[in-house]
């Protein structure tokens, strides 16, 4: 999981630091954001103190109705030991009681002119992206006709060479050799290249080549959602390969199951064309058109008619 602090929040959204500067390095480990309306009313029994606390017009207008001693007490409780940050939205004034409590407890308090609802959405999107579960897979990720295809297989089987041929055919390279994958929401895997090897492709005999320099900016993209995995393996004459495509194999990455195809490699097979067609066929299946099932239905009809 990525490392996010209150300082990252400060820099990403250009927030104004009002108080509690000593806590600027506090870690943010929860994606959810809290709007502490009940807490302003004094109910702290189930206070989610480990979340970012977002104060808008509703919370602050109610806060102004409290007695002076209640204001100080509520803000001290709001600044819990594990509270990562408190953000006051829409240019609302930051209460003096909050400033005093945040300095005492070292909880950073930020203010911004962004409206509360919009800020809530922006913060959630940012945290979902940054705190998403991640992993790394040895393989190549290519965008083929809008389908993110992760090509895997043993070293030397021809993954990078196939990716180069796909780029020549007009498709886009995302990552070669190492694909960093993060899960953004349920069932959504986003793949990208590590910064060190971004745009680069390794071809045995040639070495490292820069795809963007050779083929232009249209030949690469920074990230892509993965919807299909293709495993390349050396042809095994003793193994039975799927010839109809009715049975669908799955591969688990993080908490998501992705459709996986196994393509045998041997001389004379144009892997780039096969993978290109596999991506288009996968897209058709997602649209409800399955050639293998249609063939099976026609075959059953012929058998039953006889």
* 3-state per-residue secondary structure call for 254-289: CCEEEEEEEEEECCCCCHHHHHHHHHHHHHHHHCCC
The helix (H) or strand (E) run that includes residue 166 is helix 159-168
pLDDT, tens digit only, all 306 positions of the chain? 567 999 999 999 999 999 999 999 999 999 999 999 999 999 999 999 999 999 999 999 999 999 999 999 999 999 999 999 999 999 999 999 999 999 999 999 999 999 999 999 999 999 988 888 899 999 999 999 999 999 999 988 999 999 999 999 999 999 999 999 999 878 889 999 999 999 999 998 899 999 999 999 999 999 999 999 999 999 887 777 666 666 778 999 998 999 999 998 888 788 999 999 999 988 888 887 766 667 667 767 777 776
> Do 256 and 144 share a domain, yes or no?
yes
- What the block records as the tokens of 164 is 């180069």
- Examine the fold and report which residue of 100, 130, 160 is the final residue of a domain before the chain moves on: 130
Contact criterion met (CB below 8 Å) for 263 and 276: no
**Last residue in a domain, options 130, 164, 190:** 130
In angstroms, the CA 220 to CA 143 distance is 9
Question: Residues 138, 145, 169, 298: which is the catalytic one?
Answer: 138
Q: Are residues 80 and 206 in the same domain?
A: no
**Which residue, among 259, 263, 255, has the nearest Cα to 236 in the 3D structure?**
263
Does 304 reside within a domain? no
Q: Is 305 part of any domain?
A: no
Same domain, 141 and 225: yes
Place of tokens 């959405």: 121
Tokens of 237: 């004459």
Query: Which residues, other chains included, contact 193 with Cβ-Cβ below 8 Å and sequence gap of 6+?
Result: 141, 174, 175, 176, 178, 179, 180, 199, 200, 222
**Judgement on whether residues 46 and 96 belong to the same structural domain of the protein:** yes
Total domains in the fold of the chain: 2
Catalytic residue from among 177, 225, 260, 283: 177
Residue 37 located in a structural domain:
yes
Read off the tokens for 284. Answer: 């058709």
Residues 174 and 278 in one domain: yes
121 with 234, same domain? no
Q: List the domain range (segments joined by +) for residue 41.
A: 6-130
Report the CATH number that the domain containing residue 117 is assigned in CATH. 3.40.1390.20
Residue 306 lies inside a defined structural domain of this protein: no
Indicate whether 246 and 231 sit together in one domain.
Answer: yes
Active site residue 243: yes
Q: Which member of 35, 71, 159, 199 is catalytic?
A: 159
As a residue count, the chain comes to 306
Same domain, 141 and 215: yes
Q: 141 and 287 share a domain?
A: yes
- Residue ranges of the binding site: 153-160, 202
Nearest by Cα to 64 from 51, 80, 75, 79: 75
Q: Which of 130, 149, 182 is the last residue of a domain?
A: 130
| Domain match, 103 and 19 both | yes
What is the helix (H) or strand (E) element at residue 251, kind and residue range?
A: strand 249-253
Q: Is residue 57 part of a domain?
A: yes
Binding residues for ATP: 153-160
159 belongs to the catalytic site? yes
Q: Are 9 and 15 in contact (CB under 8 A)?
A: yes
Cα separation, 255 vs 149, in Å, equals 18
298 domain residue, yes or no: no
The yes-or-no answer on residue 118 being catalytic is no
């Amino acid at each position: 999981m990525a490392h996010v602090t209150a300082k990252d929040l400060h820099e990403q959204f250009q927030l104004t630091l009002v108080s509690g500067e000593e806590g600027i390095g506090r870690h943010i480990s929860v994606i959810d954001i809290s709007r502490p309306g009940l807490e302003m009313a004094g109910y702290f029994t189930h206070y989610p103190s480990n979340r970012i606390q977002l104060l808008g017009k509703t919370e602050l207008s109610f806060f102004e109705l409290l007695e002076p001693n209640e204001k100080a007490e509520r803000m001290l409780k709001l600044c819990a030991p594990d509270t990562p940050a408190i953000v006051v939205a829409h240019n609302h004034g930051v209460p003096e009681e909050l400033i005093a409590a945040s300095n005492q407890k070292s909880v950073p308090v930020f203010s911004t002119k962004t409206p509360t609802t919009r800020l809530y959405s922006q913060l959630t999107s940012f945290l979902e992206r940054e705190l998403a579960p991640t992993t790394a897979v040895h393989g190549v990720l290519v965008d083929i006709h809008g389908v993110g295809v992760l090509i895997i297989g043993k070293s030397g089987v021809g993954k990078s060479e196939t990716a180069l041929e796909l780029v020549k055919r007009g498709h886009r390279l995302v990552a070669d050799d190492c694909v960093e994958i993060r899960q953004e929401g349920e069932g959504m895997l986003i793949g990208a290249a590590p910064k060190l090897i971004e745009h680069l492709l390794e071809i045995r005999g040639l070495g490292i080549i820069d795809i963007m320099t050779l083929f232009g900016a249209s030949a690469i993209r920074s990230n892509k959602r993965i919807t299909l995995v293709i495993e390349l393996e050396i042809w095994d004459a003793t193994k039975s390969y799927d010839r109809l495509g009715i049975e669908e194999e799955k591969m688990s990455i993080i908490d998501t199951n992705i459709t996986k195809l196994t393509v045998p490699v041997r001389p004379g097979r144009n892997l780039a064309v096969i993978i290109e067609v596999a991506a288009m066929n996968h897209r058709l299946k997602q649209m409800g058109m399955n050639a293998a099932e249609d063939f099976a239905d026609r075959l059953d009809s012929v058998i039953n008619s006889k």
